Structure formats: C-alpha cells, structure tokens
Amino acid sequence: MCFQDQLLTYLSELGPKIPVIFLIDFLRYLAFASLAFLFFYIWKHPFQNRKIQNKFATNAQFRREFLYSVSSVVVYTAVTFVVLVLRKYGYFQFYERIEDHGWTYLILSTLLILAIQDFYFYWTHRLMHTRWLFKIVHKVHHDSLIPSPWTAYSFSVWEALIHALILPIIATLFPVHPLALLVFMTFQIIRNVLGHSGYEIFPSWMISNRILKLINTNTNHDMHHQSFRYNYGLYTTIWDYVFGTVHPKYEETFAEITRGKSEQVQLQESN
Ligand SMILES: [Zn+2]
Ligand SMILES: [Zn+2]
C-alpha cells in the first residue's frame, strides 16, 4: 500500500475518535472547574476567610476563560489525534496490557510523568515570560489577574500546544499505559483548578516544614498571576527554590492567608 493510501486508511480509522477525545478532555475540565466554582463561589465553605486576593473576578472574565479553555481543548484533541496517527507508524511507546510491565512500573511511570511535567512546565513557563514570547504565547493566561477555577485551561493556542506536547515527549521516553495517562490527566486538572481557585486550602504548618513546603500551594500560583514574576512551578516549588525564583514574600503571604482574614484583622486592631 502506498503512503497516501495508508495515511487515508489510518485517518478514516481514527477520525471517528476525534469527538470522543474532545469530549473526554472537555468534560474533565467542565466537571472539575464547575465543582470548584460551586464549592468556592456559590456554597458556604470552610475557606471563606482564606480568599487570597480581596477582589473577585467578573462574569465577563469567567466567560472569556471558558471560551479560551474550549479552544485549548481543541488543541489538545488535535495533538492527541496526531500522536495516535503517528502511533500507527510505530512511533511512541504505548502499551495496553498492564501485565506487560507490571503494577510497580505502572505506578512509578505515573509518578515519573508528573515529575517530568513539573520540570517541563517550570522551564517552558519561564521561557514564556521572556519578552519575545510573553505577548504572543502567555498573555492570554495572565489576563486573569484574579484567577478563578475557569482559568485552568485559559491559554492562547500556542501555550495550549506547548502544554499538550508533554504527551508525545513522555511517550517517546518510556512505555505509557492509558491508566497512567488517566491518573495524570485527572491529577493535573484538579491541581490546576485548585491553583487558580482564589482560595488557600493547604494547612498553615506546611510552610515551616522543609519537605512539605516543596508542595506547591494555591497562594503560590495566585501570587504569580499578581506579580507576573516568580513562582513558575506547577506541582512543586522545588525548581523555584533551586533556581531562586520563589517570590520574596511567598512564605510570609502564605502564613498570613492561612491565619485567616478575621484573625488578621483582629491582629491589626490589637496592634
Ligand atoms: Zn495560572
Ligand atoms: Zn506565567
């Protein structure tokens, strides 16, 4: 079969999967962003005195973020589709049967995917903040000065593409099972939605522990949206601490917010 015929066969085989890929990604975003929105902005929740910024985002911002997030899902779908076509040609190392590599491998490979993405995100994010790339690639995301759960996928097409490339990168490096991808994608959207939620949910004592302070917090990423500098990390603050890009006021701000607003007011009044 010539190259063109083979490509057409693959495209017609995989074509019907496009709406499914889109829906899985879109519904994952919609489910977790709506749940976080309902929890933090509609229901009475226990973190009300832990709002990171005093101002609230507008409905117009929510709408804009939602539409950009849909466009990001279109980009993710396109990248996944190209990866599936290339897989037919023997590229990438996906496997279907867990017993081929075992459960230990499955767990370790899932953790490795998250670790690689953490490092990849830190450096691509720093690059996006260079004068050359910021305006075209990253500005859309930073238009949300007060992040909300809907900000999670609010990216320009270029930024969405950069994030989506993590899939072909990891599938080139080592064998990946769909279950590892499912856990990874679910974890990333939960962390992403929480990081933009506008409220801090982590315990105050976390920041004084040398190991636990390496876990990224909602305050950390919120401060990135406010300052446009510092705190480039995703799941961890490891690379920010290693490369000296932690916001100078991060630990202090986290301690203040987790102390709770009412307590802060009482402290200020008693001073
Ligand atoms: Zn963000
Ligand atoms: Zn940024």
User: Which tokens in the block code for residue 194?
Assistant: 């929480």
Q: How far is the CA of 149 from the centre of ligand 1 (A)?
A: 10
Instruction: Considering every ligand atom shown, identify the ligand nearest to the alpha carbon of residue 146 and give its number.
Output: 1
Instruction: Considering every ligand atom shown, identify the ligand nearest to the alpha carbon of residue 139 and give its number.
Output: 2
Instruction: Considering every ligand atom shown, identify the ligand nearest to the alpha carbon of residue 128 and give its number.
Output: 2
Q: How far is the CA of 83 from the centre of ligand 1 (A)?
A: 26
Q: How far is the CA of 152 from the centre of ligand 1 (A)?
A: 7
Assign 102 to helix, strand or coil. coil
Write down the pLDDT at residue 20.
96
Residue pair 233/118 in contact (Cβ under 8 Å)? The answer is: yes
What residues contact residue 112 under an 8 Å CB cut-off, 6+ apart? 170, 174
Q: How far is the CA of 102 from the centre of ligand 2 (A)?
A: 38
Instruction: Considering every ligand atom shown, identify the ligand nearest to the alpha carbon of residue 133 and give its number.
Output: 2
Write down the pLDDT at residue 265.
45
Residue pair 110/188 in contact (Cβ under 8 Å)? The answer is: no
Q: How far is the CA of 236 from the centre of ligand 2 (A)?
A: 15
Per-residue pLDDT tens listing for the chain (271 residues): 788 888 898 899 898 999 999 999 999 999 999 999 999 999 988 999 999 999 999 999 999 999 999 999 999 999 999 999 999 998 999 999 999 999 999 999 999 999 999 999 999 999 999 999 999 999 999 999 999 999 999 999 999 999 999 999 999 999 999 999 999 999 999 999 999 999 999 999 999 999 999 999 999 999 999 999 899 999 999 999 999 999 999 999 999 999 976 555 444 444 4
Instruction: Considering every ligand atom shown, identify the ligand nearest to the alpha carbon of residue 147 and give its number.
Output: 1
Handedness of CA 91, 97, 99, 104 (dihedral sign): positive
